[in-house]
Amino acid sequence: MNRLIVPKRTAGPGPLTVQSNVDDAITRLVKYIPAEVISGYTMLSGIVAGVAPPNSPLKEFAGWAVFAIFTGLTPIYLWKVGRPTGVQWWHLPISTVSFVLWAYALGGPFTSAKIFGLAYESWFAALLAGLFSWAIAIVWTPTEPQPSGIPAFPKGGPNA
């Protein structure tokens, strides 16, 4: 299975053909969640939570640093993975938001922070991550851009 979304073709010049490889909602759901990035984040944030002494002044900083690094790595990783086939630009921000919500659901540094003045609630975090993942996969069916639209990054990258 390709790691990135296969968009539906839009009507354009030439005959329309049936695409058998277009991703359905369930496949999009799985592909929008950056599982490889989340697993790396889970491992490193688990090390911070489990190995760092509880009263260490660096523990909270390290937790937030791991979160920030993996948030930045999410679009870079997906761009690198998708380079051979071309990356649709919209896949990067959707998967980055998905990572942030799943990291929030996992707890980590969020458990000691107040967001919008509210204390961390694991059930609410899991609800947000799940709702976003399902909603974006079901509601939005991506299509290939028209030739005059925003193109995918070329196979060699944006500067190729």
The predicted-structure confidence for 64-106, as pLDDT tens digits, reads as follows 999 999 999 999 998 888 776 777 778 889 999 999 999 999 9
The predicted-structure confidence for 118-153, as pLDDT tens digits, reads as follows 889 999 999 999 999 888 888 877 766 555 455 555
**0.75 exceeded by pTM:** no
Instruction: List Cα–Cα distances, 127 to 68, 69, 91, 119, in angstroms.
Output: 22, 24, 22, 15
| pLDDT value of residue 16 | 47
The predicted-structure confidence for 2-29, as pLDDT tens digits, reads as follows 666 556 555 555 554 445 556 777 777 7
- CA–CA separation, 66 and 3 (whole Å): 24
Contact 32, 94 (CB under 8 A): yes
Q: Which residue matches tokens 């051979």?
A: 84
